[in-house]
Structure 1
Amino acid sequence: MTPSFLTYNTLIVLLGTGLLGANAGLVGSFAVLRRRSLTGDALAHAALPGLALAFLVVGQRNLPAMLAGALVSGLLGVAVISGLRSKTRVKEDAAIGIVLSVFFGAGVVLSRIVQNTPGVGSKAGLDSYILGKTAGIIRQDVFIIGGVSLVSLLLILLAYKEFKLTVFDPDFARVQGWPVLRLDLLLMGLIALAVVFGLPMVGVVLMAALLILPGAAARFWTDRLGPLLVLATVFGLSIGLIGTALSARYAGMPAGPIIVLVGAGVFLLSVLVAPKRGVLGRAVAAWRFRRSLDDRAMLRRLYDLVEPDLPSVRAINTAEELSRNGTHRRRRRAILARLVRQGALRVERDSGGILMTLTDEGLRRARVVARDQRLWEQFLLHAPELAGTMADLSQETVEVLPADLIAELEQGLRDTGRLPELERREPAR
């Protein structure tokens, strides 16, 4: 059964905001990756004076003319930012701040002039462009937004490889002779289109958030451009639909701000729970890494104790191991218990107390750990100047080193009788 608040008009608004969010997420991802997020914000604010000037020139509320004026004004703002950055000593963040504040101030003044114009000022409705008027979306608006979204998608698909290189390595693209400036302008044009056609729905102030939040949230979930664009598009679509649905469900709630708050919620959720980059994901990864380091250190310690008796594996008194200095007693007990659960240790009781013995699997792991750590020690001793560029503490093996270097280090350990053999020999009978 369809909820009572989902009327025909609400469905039209849902479709419009969903398409707008999807398009904003798609093109806004490039702005986020290109570190041009605030440029989209400046473009949205710079569009306001264009709306007012277009109304003054036409003399009536003509949506195509006003959107064209907003597009010209927005692109002019971006051009001013580019000129200030390249022709003066003004930094990019300062240039964005200047354009954002000056153009928005001019837009507010022009909007007030329009409002004070006798006869037509009250019909301009320019105030709705500041915070948006989502409820005013009609079917023709949906067709326009769908057309803009389709054009953006086709252009990105056609120039995907060029955009990818320009976003991640513009200097290399420039050296290869690619038209980086034109590609940048094309991207800014797509962002400008998304901004201009989003102004009547979510407004100048909130459009920038709709551009930035989906791409910024998607960045926490993946390192690859293709999946990031898909995810940002899905996030943008979901933000638009959920925000509009909440606004329709609870009467009196403004749709634009609700959409942005939903986007903020998606971003916060990504910050917290994304597997690799999220706060919780990183905390879990760090916790697992510390456990791995503890296990390896204990296996190395146990291997040093049993190495003189190999190929026979002698039992080790648990009380003696727990009483040694270094790691806290409770922590050592937890490490040993974990190794028992993993099948690396076997625990037995006799008259001498509790004894633990490395299993075949535990001895294999201990040999690998001892070999890797001794190779690292050998490497640091003979090539300390290379350690900073080649060592990787997140790796459990020395395979990050070149094969010929590993062979040389192994030979050095073999000559001194300190190289653990990875294949276990059967004990003599």
Structure 2
Amino acid sequence: MTFLDPNTLWVLLACMLLGISSGVIGCFAFLRNRSLIGDALAHAALPGVCIMFLLTQIKSIGLFLIGAAIIGLLASYCITAISRHTRIKEDASIAIILSVFFGAGIMLLTYIQHSNSGNQSGLDKFLFGQAASLVLSDVYTMIAISAVLLLTTTLLFKEFTLLSFDSNFGRGLGFPMKGLDGILMLMILLCVVTGLQAVGVVLMSAMLITPAVTARYWTDKISTMVILAGVFGALSGVLGTYFSTQVNNLPTGPMIVLAATTFFLFSVIFSPKRGVVIRLVTHMKVRKKVLQEDVLQVLYESMEYELKEGYSIDELAKRSGKSITKVQRAIEMLKSHLFVHVDQTGIQFTKTGLQKAHEIVLNERVWDVYYMNELDYQGFNIDKGQENIITQLNHTERQTMFKRLEDYEMMPNLLAFQANVLSDKKRSEVSL
């Protein structure tokens, strides 16, 4: 089968449409913490296909999809009913429905395959899909369903966003959240049923969730996430179809899922905000910053306590509890930033370094005072997740904290000491 073969082009178009619609709808399933709902509906569709065949004895894709949709609706109702009317949580109810319906589907499938009329039914293809069997009429069906799904998503985008992030707030505004949730479940079901023939019962959940999770690594904005998920889904469909045509008997459905997984792994490693590489680089930068600040703080507090100008690396290592190697590395970095310099008396601050160390120590001690008297500062608007507390204080609050520092004799005072030392040096140079 060549890539330019008409049948291949139909399969390519169908899988691309499936990828787009699955990625877009999967975003809202993922944000609603219903990543397994597509898996449950896909597995629940199998007994629907088998029951429809037993009733009609006809191998019709249209009839199979109708049967899958009916049983899928029953499964979604059961999931909702169990989670609402019992103490069983939604994830547990999804697992129950998935296993029960899929077990029933396997039992019916086995019965059909051992019956006289089921030997050539080929219903087992619905387990893993058979995209090569798609014909032009199937493509038309996928185009129509994809258009409906994408149009509905566009029209109800704000409502679905509200449903995904704060359904209680939406209910307070008067939106029918239960109705919107039902529409979203129906759209997931339509997407699942549409993809059964291409990727099968087992792999359909991957087509719903993998593009959505992949897109989440690249953005924090839901509109961008939905667009990216559709792009990743489409590319997965195209690449999966292309590579399956290059080797005989290579299944298209699993190749599509592998292509989607490849995009996901690439995003996990290289995405600019949450990727492993950027997180590793950020972690290394933070470690360097913390090491430098710790050494600056130790040098400052040592000089503050003893009113001594310079210290050796061994002394700083002993006082900080860090290895000599780490302190040496920190000193080299601080020298490159012009925060310290080394002369015959040892390691000393530059004017810039002294100011920087003073800010670090002052910020640290203000945090200490805040935590020691937290009940007294409940009226302060303090974000504990931020590193700097002083910049969060207004003038009055800052003076209050500084007064408490002075009462505790914790106010950093090395700036005045260093100024006196520098003045003494200048006077001695003039006298010479």
TM-score grouping bracket, smaller chain normalisation: 0.7 to 0.9
Q: Show the counterpart of 2:84.
A: 86
Q: 1:4 to 1:83 in 2, by over 3 A?
A: closer
Identity, in percent, stands at 37
**Counterpart mapping for 1:278-427 below 5 A:** 278-304=275-301, 316-319=310-313, 321-322=315-316, 324-325=318-319, 326-347=321-342, 349=343, 352=344, 355-383=346-374, 390=382, 392=384, 395-400=387-392, 404-413=396-405, 418=411
Q: 1:381 to 1:163 in 2, by over 3 A?
A: same
Q: Is 2:11 the counterpart of 1:38?
A: no
Q: Secondary structure at the match of 1:366?
A: helix
TM norm structure 2:
0.84
Q: One-letter code of the match for 1:410?
A: F
Residue from 51, 55, 64 that aligns with 1:53:
51
Q: One-letter code of the match for 1:343?
A: L
Q: Secondary structure at the match of 2:391?
A: coil
1:71 positional shift: 0.9
Q: Show the counterpart of 2:217.
A: 220
Q: What CA distance in whole angstroms lies between the structure 2 residues aligned with 1:422 and 1:233?
A: 59
Residue from 180, 191, 203 that aligns with 1:183:
180
Q: Show the counterpart of 1:139.
A: 136
Residue from 65, 68, 86 that aligns with 1:67:
65
Q: What CA distance in whole angstroms lies between the structure 1 residues aligned with 2:394 and 2:115?
A: 77
Q: What CA distance in whole angstroms lies between the structure 1 residues aligned with 2:410 and 2:103?
A: 78
1:16 positional shift: 1.6
TM norm structure 1:
0.85
Q: One-letter code of the match for 2:85?
A: K
Q: One-letter code of the match for 2:310?
A: I
Q: What CA distance in whole angstroms lies between the structure 2 residues aligned with 1:206 and 1:376?
A: 52
Q: What CA distance in whole angstroms lies between the structure 1 residues aligned with 2:103 and 2:335?
A: 69
**Counterpart mapping for 1:182-261 below 5 A:** 182-261=179-258
1:261 positional shift: 2.5
- Which digits, 9 at most, give the CA deviation of each residue in 1:244-301, with x for residues without a partner? 2221112222121222223333333333444443444444333322222222222223
Q: Secondary structure at the match of 1:37?
A: coil
Q: What CA distance in whole angstroms lies between the structure 1 residues aligned with 2:33 and 2:410?
A: 55
- Which digits, 9 at most, give the CA deviation of each residue in 1:116-150, with x for residues without a partner? 5656x456432221111011223333333233222
Q: Show the counterpart of 2:159.
A: 162
Q: One-letter code of the match for 1:211?
A: L
- Which digits, 9 at most, give the CA deviation of each residue in 1:41-68, with x for residues without a partner? 1101111222233334444233223212
Q: 1:298 to 1:322 in 2, by over 3 A?
A: closer
Over the aligned positions, Cα root-mean-square deviation in angstroms equals 3.4
Q: 1:297 to 1:185 in 2, by over 3 A?
A: same
1:425 positional shift: 8.6
Q: Secondary structure at the match of 2:126?
A: helix
Q: 1:257 to 1:386 in 2, by over 3 A?
A: farther
Q: 1:308 to 1:92 in 2, by over 3 A?
A: closer
Higher mean alpha-carbon deviation, 324-333 vs 10-19, is at: 10-19
Q: What CA distance in whole angstroms lies between the structure 1 residues aligned with 2:305 and 2:385?
A: 28
Q: 1:174 to 1:413 in 2, by over 3 A?
A: same
- Whether contact under 8 Å (1:61, 1:123) holds in the other structure is no
Q: 1:375 to 1:26 in 2, by over 3 A?
A: same
- Which digits, 9 at most, give the CA deviation of each residue in 1:227-249, with x for residues without a partner? 22222222222222222222111
Number of equivalences: 418
1:319 positional shift: 4.3
Q: What CA distance in whole angstroms lies between the structure 2 residues aligned with 1:171 and 1:101?
A: 31
Q: What CA distance in whole angstroms lies between the structure 1 residues aligned with 2:282 and 2:174?
A: 42
Q: 1:320 to 1:82 in 2, by over 3 A?
A: closer
Higher mean alpha-carbon deviation, 320-329 vs 241-250, is at: 320-329
1:208 positional shift: 1.2
Q: Secondary structure at the match of 2:341?
A: strand
Q: Is 2:264 the counterpart of 1:267?
A: yes
Q: What CA distance in whole angstroms lies between the structure 1 residues aligned with 2:301 and 2:34?
A: 55
Higher mean alpha-carbon deviation, 328-337 vs 414-423, is at: 414-423
Q: Secondary structure at the match of 1:316?
A: coil
1:393 positional shift: 5.7
Q: One-letter code of the match for 1:46?
A: A
- Whether contact under 8 Å (1:371, 1:420) holds in the other structure is no
Higher mean alpha-carbon deviation, 190-199 vs 271-280, is at: 271-280
Q: Which runs of 5+ in 2 are unaligned?
A: 427-432
Q: What CA distance in whole angstroms lies between the structure 2 residues aligned with 1:188 and 1:60?
A: 29
Q: 1:361 to 1:159 in 2, by over 3 A?
A: farther
1:92 positional shift: 2.6
Q: What CA distance in whole angstroms lies between the structure 2 residues aligned with 1:71 and 1:379?
A: 60
- Whether contact under 8 Å (1:22, 1:237) holds in the other structure is yes
- Which digits, 9 at most, give the CA deviation of each residue in 1:322-381, with x for residues without a partner? 45332211111111111122232334x4xx36x444334323322321221121122123
1:395 positional shift: 1.8
